[in-house]
Amino acid sequence: MNKNLSFSNILIRVPNWLGDSMMATPVVSVVHKAFPKAKLTILAKSNFASFWKNFSEVHEVLVLEKGVAGYLKTISEIKKRQFDVALTLPSSFSSAFLHFAADIPVRIGWSGEGRDIFLTQVVPAPEPRKKHLVWEYLELILQGLGRPIPFPTFKLAFPLDLKISQEAEKLLKSLKVNVKPGLVALGPGATYGPAKRWPLVNWKELITQMLESGKETLLVVGGAEEKEYLSDLWSDLPEKHSKRLMSLVGKTDPRVLAAVLDECKLLITNDTGPMHVAAAVGTPTVAVFGSTSPAWTRPFGLGHEVIYKNAECSPCFQKTCPIGYICLNQITVDEVLRTAKKKLKGRRVVAGEKPPQGVLV
């Protein structure tokens, strides 16, 4: 890529998943800094459109429509805007083909998945899952655009405004959540599969001990599809604690979830999307990892704690485990509780990260 090449109308195709979207947020700042006069447009799924609209650097958000008819409509909308370059963050075949079909003259993306033919600037795919996804995305931009990365440190972002905060406050009031003792959020689910989920019996014991030894109100967060799985957390809950364990499962969109997590002292969670939302709003996190790799998807930034046993078979990245979830079962309630209490006693400080040696060079 010619370093002197300039762009005035840039399209960024962002990831489809909540956590991956959070880890792509530094890209927006970097591209805006590299091309401050360019119009910057985001292409995202509908459930994340409102999130990206909150970024001051973003001029427009296009929605990736569903189905074949929607796909064709999206191509038509892209063509109308006459972008001069497209940055394709997902590694899927369809995302590269979409930009090709929309006749965007410069199309940047990773190699692989049979998509190289649809790209004009092919960036070699990184060694799978060896470095944090934030660095992978930024290296794609660095190599694809041929521009230096303009920041010494990086952090995730989730812009909040008064309206979003008021929506979160309204939700908590409607559920009669007592916020005065402080809030701690819990993310016991994971739609990926059981190999990401610390056993629910452990979560129940952790909740019991936190309710007995602390004063904070505990908020369980998760998607609507996790409601049935998480319902057992409230079974056998003593009446005296019934108002201190509250469910927000299925009751928040990404914007409201971010505002709620912003009000929390701490998030204790599996490797989930809300983990990255918490990191983006600066809420310290205690993250439990099983089949996935903290090196690749840990909560980004300084000030978080990861509990990971690095079993011989881990990380396997499988959704289910044929040999008994050794990686998760080695993590004890006492260890998670001690780590959480330590974070609650300290100051709420989450800072950006410097690129490790050999990254972004």
Same domain, 256 and 185: yes
Residue 338 falls within a domain, yes or no?
yes
Same domain, 54 and 112: yes
Strand partners, 31: none
Residues 6+ apart with CB under 8 A from 18: 48, 254, 273, 274, 276, 277
Compute CA distances 16 → 95, 158, 162, 263, whole Å.
Answer: 11, 16, 26, 26
pLDDT score of 30 more than 80? yes
Check which CATH number belongs to the domain holding 72 and give it: 3.40.50.2000
* pLDDT value at residue 238: 87
Pairwise CA distance, residues 61 & 150, whole Å: 24
Same domain, 307 and 210: yes
- 205 CB neighbour count, 10 Å cutoff: 16
Pairwise CA distance, residues 337 & 360, whole Å: 37
Instruction: Name the domain count of the chain.
Output: 2
Same domain, 173 and 120: no
Same domain, 279 and 233: yes
Residue 136 falls within a domain, yes or no?
yes
pLDDT band at 361 (very low <50, low <70, confident <90, very high): low
Compute CA distances 250 → 17, 44, 143, 230, 231, whole Å.
Answer: 16, 21, 39, 11, 12
* pLDDT value at residue 1: 44
Same domain, 185 and 331: yes
**Which range scores top for mean pLDDT: 146-155, 199-208, 341-350?**
199-208
Contact 10, 105 (CB under 8 A): no
Residue 358 falls within a domain, yes or no?
no
Determine whether 152 is exposed, middle or buried from the number of CB atoms within 10 Å of its CB (0-12, 13-18, 19+).
exposed
* pLDDT value at residue 20: 96
Q: What is the pTM of this model?
A: 0.94
Same domain, 266 and 169: yes
Same domain, 116 and 198: no
Domain of residue 76, residue span: 9-145
Same domain, 202 and 295: yes
Residue 54 falls within a domain, yes or no?
yes
Same domain, 136 and 171: no
Strand partners, 106: 85
Residue 282 falls within a domain, yes or no?
yes
